[in-house]
Amino acid sequence: MKHGMSVIVQSIARLMVPFIWMFGIYIIAHGHISPGGGFAGGVFLAGGFILITLAFGSAPDKEERSQDFASKLESEALLIFLIMASIGLVLKLGLMANLLAKTHPGLPGHIAAGGLIPWENLAIGVEVSAALAVMFIAFARHRLKE
């Protein structure tokens, strides 16, 4: 995918991608209030990225770098999720204990509620989007080689 697509596609992509990303972030942030959550939002973020790559194309060396970056980001996001899950373990509440919610559950329906849930959603969102980006770039790079 060295060349990307036509100018029309490129300008539409340029218009749409910010909105897609904004929607993804909104979905992640409101995962505990409205439909959606880390998974849906993460897939939207990855979708925006894929749209950009499809429309504009990219150079091989840049693809390699972004693949490394995405792969690292993915592992780190999962590690952060694991750390959040283990906080409860350290405090002897058990793995995955949503300890903030046990003391301050907050008011259902508000954004500052749910204890760790929004943060876990964020980590999951980053993990999912990075994982999908890794998969997509792997396919795209393979095509370059053939």
- Site for other proteins, rule CB under 8 A: 27, 31-40, 43-44, 46-47, 50, 67, 71-72, 74-76, 78-79, 81-82, 85-86, 88-89, 92-98, 101-102, 104-109, 113-117, 120-121, 124, 127-128, 131-132, 134-136, 138-143, 145-146
> DSSP string of 1-34?
--S---HHHHHHHHHHHHHHHHHHHHHHHTTTTS
CB of 104: closest distance to other proteins in angstroms?
A: 8
Taking the least distance from each CB to other proteins, the nearer of 22 and 79 is 79
> Any idea what DSSP says for residue 36?
-
CB of 6: closest distance to other proteins in angstroms?
A: 18
Distance CA 69, CA 88 (A): 30
CB of 14: closest distance to other proteins in angstroms?
A: 19
Name which of 19, 40, 27 is nearest 132 in CA terms.
40
